[in-house]
Chain A
Amino acid sequence: MDARTKPALRDEGARLGFRLTLPAQILVLFISAFPLLMQLYISVTDWSPLSGLGWWNAWEMWNSFANYTDLAADARFWSALKRTAIVMVVCVPAEFLLGLALATLFADDFPGKRIFYSILLMPMMVVPAVAGYMFFMLFQSGGPVNDILSSLTGSPVTIAWLSDPTLALIAVMIADIWQWTPLMFLILLAGLVGVPEDQIKAATLLGANPWQRFTTIVLPKMKTIIVIALAIRVIENFKIFDTLYIMTGGGPGVATETISVYIYKVTTQDLIWGYVAAIALAILVVLSIVAVFAMKRMARTKQVAA
Chain B
Amino acid sequence: MSAIQLRHLTKTFGDFTALKTMDLEIADGEFMALLGPSGCGKSTTMNMIAGMEEPSSGNILFGERDMAGVPMGRRGVGFVFQNYAIFTHMTVRQNLAYGPRMRGATKAEIDRRVGAIAELLQLTPLLDRKADRLSVNILQRVAIGRSAIMEPAIFLLDEPLSNVDAAFRAVMRTELKQLQRQFRQTMVYVTHDQLEAMTMADRIAVMDHGVLQQVGTPLEVYNNPANVFVARFIGAPGMNLLKGRPAQSDRGLVIDLGPLGITPPLPDELATTLRAARGDVLYGFRPEQVALAPDRRGLAMPVTFVERIGARTIVHLGEGEGTVKAVFDNDVGLSIGQTAAVAPTAAAVRVFDAASGVAMKAG
Chain A interface (Cβ < 8 Å from any Cβ of B): 196, 198-199, 201-209, 212, 216-217, 220-221, 223, 304-305
Report B79-90 CB contacts with A as 1/0, cut-off 8 Å. Answer: 101110111111
Q: Are B146 and A206 in contact (CB under 8 A)?
A: yes
Query: In chain B, what residue has the closest Cβ to A201?
Result: B52
User: Which of B17-25, B97-105, B308-316 has 4 or more CB atoms under 8 Å from chain A?
Assistant: B97-105
Q: Which 10 A-B pairs have the closest CB atoms?
A: A198-B85, A206-B99, A202-B85, A208-B102, A207-B73, A220-B89, A198-B81, A199-B85, A205-B79, A207-B102
Chain B interface (Cβ < 8 Å from any Cβ of A): 50, 52, 72-74, 77-79, 81-83, 85-90, 98-99, 102-103, 130, 132, 146-147, 150
Cβ-defined partner of B81 (8 Å) among A201, A223, A305: A201
Q: Are B89 and A202 in contact (CB under 8 A)?
A: no
List of B residues within 8 angstroms of A220 by Cβ: 89-90
Q: How far is the CA of A207 from the CA of B102 in the complex (A)?
A: 6
16 other A-B residue contacts (CB within 8 Å) besides A203-B87, A216-B102 = A199-B86, A201-B79, A201-B81, A203-B98, A204-B73, A205-B77, A206-B73, A206-B98, A206-B150, A207-B99, A207-B150, A209-B73, A220-B90, A304-B89, A304-B132, A305-B132
Query: In chain B, what residue has the closest Cβ to A200?
Result: B85
Q: How far is the CA of A221 from the CA of B132 in the complex (A)?
A: 12
Q: Are B81 and A206 in contact (CB under 8 A)?
A: no
**Closest Cβ of chain A: how far from B14's Cβ, in Å?**
15
List of B residues within 8 angstroms of A204 by Cβ: 72-73
**Closest Cβ of chain A: how far from B326's Cβ, in Å?**
44
List of B residues within 8 angstroms of A208 by Cβ: 73, 98, 102
**Closest Cβ of chain B: how far from A108's Cβ, in Å?**
15
Query: In chain A, what residue has the closest Cβ to B75?
Result: A205
Q: Are A205 and B72 in contact (CB under 8 A)?
A: yes
**Closest Cβ of chain B: how far from A109's Cβ, in Å?**
14
Q: How far is the CA of A223 from the CA of B89 in the complex (A)?
A: 10
Q: Are A203 and B102 in contact (CB under 8 A)?
A: yes
Residue among A216, A221, A223 with max Cβ neighbours from chain B (10 Å): A216
Cβ-defined partner of A221 (8 Å) among B73, B89, B98: B89
List of B residues within 8 angstroms of A212 by Cβ: 102
Tell whether A205 pairs with B50 under 8 Å between CB atoms, given A217-B87, A304-B132, A305-B132.
Answer: yes
List of A residues within 8 angstroms of B86 by Cβ: 199
List of A residues within 8 angstroms of B102 by Cβ: 203, 206-209, 212, 216
List of A residues within 8 angstroms of B52 by Cβ: 201
Residue among B77, B81, B83, B146 with max Cβ neighbours from chain A (10 Å): B81
Q: Could you list 29 A-B pairs, sorted by A, with CB under 8 Å?
A: A198-B81, A199-B86, A199-B88, A201-B72, A201-B79, A202-B79, A202-B81, A202-B85, A202-B87, A202-B146, A203-B87, A204-B72, A206-B98, A206-B99, A206-B102, A206-B147, A207-B74, A207-B150, A208-B73, A208-B102, A209-B102, A212-B102, A216-B102, A217-B87, A221-B89, A304-B89, A304-B130, A305-B88, A305-B132
Tell whether A198 pairs with B83 under 8 Å between CB atoms, given A203-B98, A207-B99, A207-B103.
Answer: yes
Query: In chain A, what residue has the closest Cβ to B152?
Result: A205
List of A residues within 8 angstroms of B88 by Cβ: 199, 305
List of A residues within 8 angstroms of B82 by Cβ: 198
List of A residues within 8 angstroms of B150 by Cβ: 206-207
List of A residues within 8 angstroms of B81 by Cβ: 198, 201-202
List of A residues within 8 angstroms of B74 by Cβ: 207
**Closest Cβ of chain B: how far from A112's Cβ, in Å?**
20
Q: Are B98 and A216 in contact (CB under 8 A)?
A: yes
Q: How far is the CA of A208 from the CA of B74 in the complex (A)?
A: 10
List of B residues within 8 angstroms of A202 by Cβ: 79, 81, 85, 87, 146
Q: How far is the CA of A304 from the CA of B73 in the complex (A)?
A: 30
Query: In chain A, what residue has the closest Cβ to B130?
Result: A304
